[in-house]
Structure 1
Amino acid sequence: MRSRWNRPPERARADAVLRLVVRTSSELCLTAGTVILLFVAYVLLWTGVKADRAMDDERARLRDTWSAAAPAAAPQTVPPATAPSPPPAAAPLPEGRAFAEMYVPRFGRDWVKPVLEGTGTELLKKGLGHYPGTARLGATGNFSVAGHRRTYGDPFKDFPELRSGDAVILKDATAWYTYTVRGGPLRTLPTDVAVVDPVPRKSPFTGPGRYLTLTTCDPEWGHSHRLVVWAELTGTRVVGQGRPEGLPG
C-alpha cells in the first residue's frame, strides 16, 4: 500500500495546486466578506453620522441668520386665507442654502430637518431639498420637497406611516406654516413629474391652492419608484406667536 509520503510527483504537485486554490479562494471570500461588511457599516452608520452632523450645521447656520435678521415686530396670527405670499418678483432662493425647517410629529417629537434649495445628490446629504421652480413656502401653488428614505440620516424612513390628517409644519425666518396631509402615500414612477405641478396630478386637489408635496424613493432600499404625499396649508402664524398647536415643545 502506497503512503502519502511516496506518492508520484505528479500527484503531489496536483495536491499542492489544489491546496493553493482552496486557500486562495478562502482568503478571497474572507476579504470580500470583510469589504461587504465595511460597506454595509458605511451605508447604515457612517453616512447617517455625517448627515446628522451636516443637518445640525445647516440648522445652526440658518438660526444664526434668522437671529441676525429678526425684526422687532409685535406677535400676531395670520389666518391661511390671508397669509402673505412672496411677491412675483421675489429673488430666487440661493441654490444649496437652507431656508426653512420641517417638523413632522408623526415621525417623532424630536424629528426636525433643514430644507435646502435644490435636489442635487450632494445637497440631499445635508437635509431635505426644495424642488426649484415649485412654489415658495406658504405661497399659492405647490411647495415641493424631496428627501432620502434610507442612508444619509434616513430622513424619510417612516414616510409610509403618514396618514390623512397628519401635520407637516415648516418654519422660516418670519412664520410657521402648518400643512395637513390629505390621503396616504401614492406610489408612482420617477418620471411622473406632474406630481409637483401647481395643481398636482393624481392628488385630491382639483383647483389652485396652497399645497405641499413630499417625495421619497421606493422600495425602501431602492429607487425604481417614488412615494408621494400631498398636504394643504391649514394654518399660519408669525414666529413671535410661538409654536403652532400640535407641535411638541
Structure 2
Amino acid sequence: MSVRLIVRTFSELCITVGALIILFVVYVLFWTGVKAAGATEGQIDDLQNQWAHGAVTAPVPLPSASPPPSDPKPSAPAPKAYRDGKPFAMLYVPRFGKDWEWPVLENTKVKTLQKGLGHYRGTAAAGATGNFAVAGHRRTYGDPFKDFPKLRPGDAVIVTDGTTWFTYRIDKKPYRTVPSDVGVIDPVPRKSGFDGPGRYLTLTTCEPEWGSSHRLIAWAHLDATQPVTDGKPAAFHS
C-alpha cells in the first residue's frame, strides 16, 4: 500500500469521525432542545386546559401494607402521590429569568425529565409538610437548570398547582454531593441546616455542567402562600 493511499484513507476516516462528532454535538445542543420545547409546551397546555376547566391534580394516597396483627404500633399515614408521569404544577425561578417556567411531572424517569422537571415520587406534595423534591437537567432537553449555581440565599422558587401559589425561599448556596447521597431528599434533608419538620423544597441537578459524576442541591423553606385568584405573588418581582 502506497503512502499516498494510507494518507488518503486516514484523511477520509478523520473526515467521517469529524462529521459524526458534529452531528452528535448538534443533537445534544440543538435537537434535544427542540424536542424538549415541544414536549414542555404540550405539558403546559395540558395543565392550563385542566385548570381552565376547574380540574386540579391533587395527590392521592399510595397503597400501604397493613401491619401484622402482632404489631402493636399503629401504621403511619400513607404517603401521597400525583398521577405517575403526568404534570401537576408549574415552577418558576425569577433568578433564572422572567420567562423561565417549567412544568413539574410525577417521577424522575428519563422520559419524564425530557418533558420538564420531575418530582421525586414519595416526597411531599407542593406546599405540604415534608420535602417537596424536584429534579431537572442541567444541560440538554432545554437546559432547565443551566444557571443552577447562580442560586443564592433568599431567592424565590415559586410553585403553583392551579389553585395556590407556594413561595419558597432558598436557604443557602447550592451544595455539591454524590448521586448516592439520597438523604438530600429526606423529609428533613441531611446537611440542609433544617433542625426539624417543616415545609421544605429540594432542587437537584447534575454536576459538572456537562457531566453527572456529582449533584448540585438547593434547599428552600416555604415562605408564603396565596390563592391564584389574588394574582401573582410579589416574589416574581423580588
Is the structural similarity TM-score above 0.5? yes
Secondary structure of 1:69's match?
Answer: coil
Q: 1:199 aligns with which of 188, 200, 203?
A: 188
TM-score calculated relative to the size of structure 2? 0.89
Residue 94 (str. 1) matches residue 83 (str. 2): yes
Unpaired segments ≥5 residues, structure 2:
62-76
The whole-number CA distance in structure 1 between the counterparts of 2:8 and 2:78 is: 70
TM-score calculated relative to the size of structure 1? 0.85
Residue 184 (str. 1) matches residue 169 (str. 2): no
Cross-structure match for 2:101: 112
Q: 2:124 aligns with which of 126, 130, 135?
A: 135
Higher relative contact order (CA 8 A, sep 6+): 1
Unpaired segments ≥5 residues, structure 1:
1-13, 72-84
The whole-number CA distance in structure 1 between the counterparts of 2:161 and 2:205 is: 22
Cross-structure match for 2:46: 61
CA drift of 1:247 comes to 1.2
Residue 226 (str. 1) matches residue 211 (str. 2): no
Change (3 A) 1:179 1:113: same
The whole-number CA distance in structure 2 between the counterparts of 1:180 and 1:232 is: 6
Change (3 A) 1:90 1:190: closer
Cross-structure match for 2:34: 49
1:4-48 Cα deviation digits (max 9, x unpaired): xxxxxxxxxx5xx32211111100100110110111011001101
The whole-number CA distance in structure 2 between the counterparts of 1:35 and 1:188 is: 34
Q: 2:10 aligns with which of 11, 22, 25?
A: 25
The whole-number CA distance in structure 2 between the counterparts of 1:230 and 1:27 is: 52
Q: 2:19 corresponds to which letter in structure 1?
A: T
The whole-number CA distance in structure 2 between the counterparts of 1:120 and 1:34 is: 31
The whole-number CA distance in structure 1 between the counterparts of 2:81 and 2:219 is: 24
Cross-structure match for 1:5: none
**CA contact under 8 A between 2:169 and 2:222: conserved in structure 1?**
yes
Q: 2:122 corresponds to which letter in structure 1?
A: G
Secondary structure of 2:46's match?
Answer: helix
Larger Rg: 1
Q: 2:117 corresponds to which letter in structure 1?
A: L
Residue 170 (str. 1) matches residue 140 (str. 2): no
The whole-number CA distance in structure 2 between the counterparts of 1:246 and 1:199 is: 25
**Deviant stretches of 4+, over 3 Å:** 85-91
Cross-structure match for 1:239: 228
CA drift of 1:166 comes to 0.2
**CA contact under 8 A between 1:86 and 1:139: conserved in structure 2?**
no
Q: 1:21 corresponds to which letter in structure 2?
A: I
**CA contact under 8 A between 1:86 and 1:136: conserved in structure 2?**
no
The whole-number CA distance in structure 2 between the counterparts of 1:106 and 1:91 is: 30
Q: 1:37 aligns with which of 6, 18, 22?
A: 22
CA drift of 1:90 comes to 7.8
**CA contact under 8 A between 2:128 and 2:199: conserved in structure 1?**
yes
Q: 2:179 corresponds to which letter in structure 1?
A: P
Cross-structure match for 1:149: 138
CA drift of 1:70 comes to 5.6
Identity in percent: 60
Change (3 A) 1:188 1:89: closer
1:174-193 Cα deviation digits (max 9, x unpaired): 11000000000000000000
**CA contact under 8 A between 2:167 and 2:235: conserved in structure 1?**
no
CA drift of 1:49 comes to 1.1
The whole-number CA distance in structure 2 between the counterparts of 1:206 and 1:145 is: 21
